[in-house]
Amino acid sequence: MAARALAALGHTRLPLRQITTPLAISARTFATAPPKNVEKDGKNDKIEPKRQPPTVLGVKERPIPDRNSWTGRQKQKLQDLTNYEKAFASHAEERRYLVEEATKSYFADAHDMRKHGGKLFEASNKLIRAEKALYMPDFEGRNFSKETVHTTDKLAGKITLMSFVLAQYAEQHVNSFINPFMKEFKDREDVQLVELNVQENFLKQYLMKALVGTIRRNTPVERQDNYVLLYKDISRVRRYLGMTNQYIGYVFLVDENCKIRWTAHGVATEHEIANMVGMTKFLAEKKTIGNGEK
């Protein structure tokens, strides 16, 4: 009976609509309507960013610059080991980080660039409220005079546009925000720009140190005082700031209390520039009249 059934199935002809070969599946896929995030714009298809802007970024605790020597820092690490609650939380966070890194493709950042063109989302048109905003972490780097600087010292008391560049390709991204920002606020003492040039690769750090003079010559004079060179892997801290892609340039609007109130990335749009300028003026005026945080 089984042989007869198999023989019958062998001579059965399936209707065309029931064929599910890969070629047929591909044909149906190409025949479907375009996704909602694709709009026709003349002859080209315009792909809108898929992600939503973050509602909050940063760390919960107000950053305190670590001015201890290497010996002092090692003693502090030993003391932290005896704080079991703090040590357990640190180990749990480290495990989450290692799992994320292990499951992330080596070419994930490059794939994101090809997929979204360096624009993962459109920046929000609203400030993060001060009571919900978190703090910008402290970064210890070097200035052009090879002096140690802490970003928290620079941020305190001023309204700041803070930029991060981790790859040369990202420079065009941050400059699209920096140029209009400096044009508008370069003469104001209560508003400033702080730039971080970050090199996480251990071998490339030596190359960047050798090119400090070239970087300085290529940096406008009015931007050199607040230019910070960071020779350190900050991938763990970057997660708190939403800087998931090393090839994208990021900017943050930070208030006088070191709280992150707005962020953007990629190449600036006209709306983002207008919002950045308007928000900076609002924060500067609020600080001047001393109305407190809102």
Q: Tell me: pLDDT of 9 over 90.
A: no
Measured distance CA(124)–CA(269) in Å, rounded: 12
- What distance in Å separates the CA atoms of residue 208 and residue 215, rounded to the nearest whole number? 9
pLDDT of residue 139: 96
Side-chain half-sphere exposure of 103, counting CA atoms within 13 A: 6
Q: How far apart are CA 274 and CA 271, in angstroms?
A: 5
Q: Distance between CA atoms of 198 and 293, rounded to whole angstroms?
A: 31
β-sheet bridge partners, residue 263: 252
Tens-digit pLDDT profile for residues 218-231:
999 999 999 999 99
**What is the Cα–Cα distance from 73 to 251, expressed in whole angstroms?**
30
| CATH superfamily of this structure's domain 117-289 | Glutaredoxin (3.40.30.10)
User: Where residue 285 falls among pLDDT bands split at 50, 70, 90?
Assistant: very high
Which of 291, 131, 166, 289 has its CA nearest to residue 237? 166
Edge-first strand order for the sheet with 250-254 is 148-150, 140-142, 227-230, 191-198, 159-165, 250-254, 260-265
For residue 147, give both structure tokens.
Answer: 């002096």
State the pLDDT at residue 85: 61
- Percent of all residues in the chain with a pLDDT value above 70, rounded to a whole number: 65
Is the pTM higher than 0.75? The answer reads no
What pLDDT was estimated at residue 219?
95
Residue 217 C-alpha from the chain's centroid:
27
Lowest mean pLDDT among 8-12, 79-83, 117-121, 262-266: 8-12
Give burial (CB, 10 Å; 0-12/13-18/19+) of 109: middle
Measure the CA–CA gap between 196 and 163, rounded to whole angstroms: 6
The pLDDT tens digits of the residues spanning 28-60 come to 333 333 334 433 444 444 444 557 888 899 999
Beta strand spans in the chain (E): 38-41, 44-47, 140-142, 148-150, 159-165, 191-198, 227-230, 250-254, 260-265
On the question of pLDDT at 26 being above 80, the answer is: no
Report the relative pairing of strands 227-230 and 44-47 from DSSP bridges. unpaired
The span from the CA of 167 to the CA of 35, in Å, is: 32
Domain ranges of the chain: 117-289
Question: Which residues make beta-bridge pairs with 254?
Answer: 160, 260
Q: Which residue type sits at 95?
A: R
Residue 236: other Cβ atoms inside 10 A: 11
**Cα–Cα distance measured from residue 136 to residue 22, given in angstroms and rounded to the nearest whole number:** 50
| Strand 44-47 relative to strand 191-198, pairing | unpaired
At residue 149, the pLDDT reads: 95
pLDDT, residue 109, reads 62
Among 36, 66, 64, 67, residue whose Cα is nearest residue 50 = 36
**pLDDT tens readout for residues 88-122:** 555 555 565 455 555 555 555 666 666 666 788 89
Q: Give residue 90's pLDDT.
A: 56
